[in-house]
A = this chain, B = another copy of it.
Amino acid sequence: MTCALGNLGADLPQLRPSPKMSSSAPNTPLAEKIPVGILGATGTVGQRFIQLLEGHPYFVVAAVGASARSAGKAYKDAAARSWKQITVIPADVASLIVQTCEPENFKNCRIVFSGLDSDVAGDIESAFLKADFAVFSNAKNYRMDPIVPLIVPLVNTSHFDVIAHQRKVHGLSKGFIITNANCSTTGLVVPLKALQDAFGPLSRVVVTTMQAISGAGYPGVPSLDILGNVVPYISGEEEKIEIECSKILGGVTADLTGFSNLPEMKVSASCNRVPVIDGHMESVMVEFQKCPAPSIEQIIEALQSYTSDAQKLGVPSAPEHAVVVMKEADRPQPRMDIMIGNGNTVAVGRVRKCNIFDVKFSLLSHNTILGAAGSSIMNAEVAVAKGLI
């Protein structure tokens, strides 16, 4: 890799963002950290939350919630068979007693991170919102709600501006709910935002995804379906990409009461599952409204120099680069490049002319870090930085 990643090795604790290291903030004493709860703590996303929050400078996991079947057990016992991370369960979480996902069991928490499945997330998250928690959700249920921000932290933290209105509508003093995007949407919107910021509105985006199995959770995809195979379908995935992009890349209305989507930007997605553990690859084509379109060199420059608000705020999980542009002909690749920026950077490669649109490229993003729990955590860090918590 010839891009400016010279110090990547140096800060490669590799499996989690290293807020202690990459942030200049002094290490917060444990007693002063913000206690957070994890909803859906035994699931794949819940596990990532727990892993990524180990040693976090702002937050400490103080409660874990799961279904009634797990409730009452120590987390290490409830998650024993399903823990599929390559680091061990952090000792302080291992001994927490799993609770059912009811607000009264999380009274010691200021924030809850939700890794709940969508079939239960709606009611539970709503209950926590009403109980005045700050809810950061990975579930799809409220993403398109007109007063719920759908925030990819490297893209549209300006959408936090709707929180005041949301609180007012729901009669809350300190609670609110923020959702983050579908994993395959997340990787896509970061370079799209870079291009939109540099060159104005996009008119058309074609994306074909090759998505990792970890995106389906555990047990998730049966091995007989994916070993040596490609499955050209992921239920609901194409629709999510097509509608979420428009909200994320859009703005906030002038009165800060909602979102101004981008109906003029057309997105067409085709989603495939491939036998990769972590890391969604996407083949992308983009057309600009602006004519003539920027050159390939200008596009590369815009991608490389893009800096999100989360980075400017210096929150702990924000990577040095929101986007890295790889120059090798055959990169990025999931096996090699998935941990760039501790899993919070989008790797882009093969930026080249397209016969039909203005540019095409490949991108790779970590579907369970930036694409799930990592985004939620970075969103929460931004909320802290913005004084919302």
Contacts and interface: CB of A to CB of B under 8 A. Distances in A.
Interface in A213-250: 213-214, 218-233, 235, 242
A350 interface: yes
Contacts of A242: 355
A21 interface: yes
Interface string A283-323: 10100000000000000000010000000000000001100
Contacts of A179: none
Interface string A257-278: 0000000001110101011110
A87 interface: yes
A100 B270 CA distance: 40
Contact of A270 (B7, B208, B339): B208
A83 B8 CA distance: 15
A80 B336 CA distance: 13
Interface residues of A, number: 95
Contact of A230 (B219, B281, B360): B281
A226 B90 CA distance: 24
A268 B357 CA distance: 9
Contacts of A214: 224
A20 to B, nearest CB: 9
B268 A232 contact: no
A275 B339 contact: no
Interface of A: 1-15, 18, 21-22, 51, 54-55, 76, 80, 84, 86-88, 90-91, 204, 206, 208, 210, 213-214, 218-233, 235, 242, 266-268, 270, 272, 274-277, 281, 283, 285, 304, 320-321, 324-342, 349-350, 354-357, 360, 362
Given A1-B337, A270-B360, 19 more contacts: A6-B88, A8-B87, A9-B51, A9-B55, A10-B21, A11-B18, A11-B342, A84-B225, A84-B336, A210-B272, A213-B223, A222-B222, A224-B277, A227-B335, A229-B276, A229-B336, A232-B330, A272-B283, A274-B275
